[in-house]
Amino acid sequence: MLQVANLNAWYGASHVLQDVSIEVAKGEIVCLIGRNGAGKTTTLKSIMGMMDRTRGSVTFKGKELLNLPAHLRFALGLAYVPEERRIVQGLSVRENLRLGLVASPEKRHELQLIEDIAKIFPRLAERLDQEAVTMSGGEQQMLAIARAVIAKPDLIMLDEPSEGIMPVLVDEMFELFLAMKAQGTTVLLVEQNVELALEIADRAYVMDQGAVVHQSSARELLADDEVKERYCSV
C-alpha cells in the first residue's frame, strides 16, 4: 500500500532524513522505533507532505505522492495523527469528529459515521456533547485518532499516541489499534513504548540518526534485546 524509497528530508540546511526506505502492506501494523531525534516523526511528516524540502519517492496505492500537497494525500486515503492532539477548543467531541469529514467524500454519511466511530471508541460515545478539551489527555488522544479514522482512510499514521497517557488508557488504546486493523485500516505507528508497539505490530523498522538501521518482523525484534538496547533505550 505504501512504499517509501530513498527518502531524504531537510530542515533548512540540516539533512535530517537520509535515504529512508520502508514498505507497509495492506492490513499491516508497522512500527517505526528508535530514540528521540532518530527521524521517526520527520518520516511521517515527509510521507504526509508536511516538510518544505524532500527528495526520493513516496508511493501510495501505486501513485507517486512526493509532489502532491498534504490535503490531496489525505483525499487519497492517507491520514496522519501528530503527537500534538490539536483538539479544537470550544467545540464538543461530536463537532471535533465532524472536522475529520470536512474534506472527505464520506461527509454525506456523517450521522452514520459518527455512530460507527462511537462503537469503536466507547469512551467517546459517552461524551459526544461534552466540550472536548475538558476530557482527560488520554480521551483527547482517542478523539484525535477517531477524528482521523472517521473519514475511513486506507492508512493512518500515528505519532506517539501513548505519550503522556495513563497506563490503563494506553492498553485500551492499543486494543483499539488492533480493532482498527480488524476493520481494514492499515497502521504506521511511531511509538516510544517499544515493547507494547512490537506486541501488536506485524513488522518493525528501527531508525537512528535519520536512517533505517534495522528491519525485521515485530516478533523477531521483540526477542532481540541487543538491537533494542543499542537503538531504542533512553
Determine the pLDDT at residue 47.
97
Determine the pLDDT at residue 53.
94
Determine the pLDDT at residue 176.
87
| Sequence spans of domains, the chain | 2-84+155-231
Determine the pLDDT at residue 21.
98
Grid coordinates given for 164: 503522556
Determine the pLDDT at residue 112.
78
Exposed/middle/buried for 188, CB within 10 Å: 0-12, 13-18, 19+?
A: buried
Determine the pLDDT at residue 105.
60
Determine the pLDDT at residue 228.
84
Determine the pLDDT at residue 188.
97
Mean pLDDT by 10 residues, the chain (234 residues): 97 95 97 93 96 95 94 91 85 89 66 80 87 90 88 92 83 88 92 92 96 95 88 72
Q: How far apart are CA 117 and CA 99, in angstroms?
A: 14
Determine the pLDDT at residue 162.
86
Angle at alpha carbon of residue 203, lines to 193 and 47, rounded to 5°: 85
Q: How far apart are CA 157 and CA 77, in angstroms?
A: 11
202 in Cβ contact with 195 (< 8 Å):
no
CATH, domain range 2-84+155-231? 3.40.50.300
pTM assigned to the model? 0.90
Exposed/middle/buried for 184, CB within 10 Å: 0-12, 13-18, 19+?
A: exposed
Q: How far apart are CA 93 and CA 73, in angstroms?
A: 25
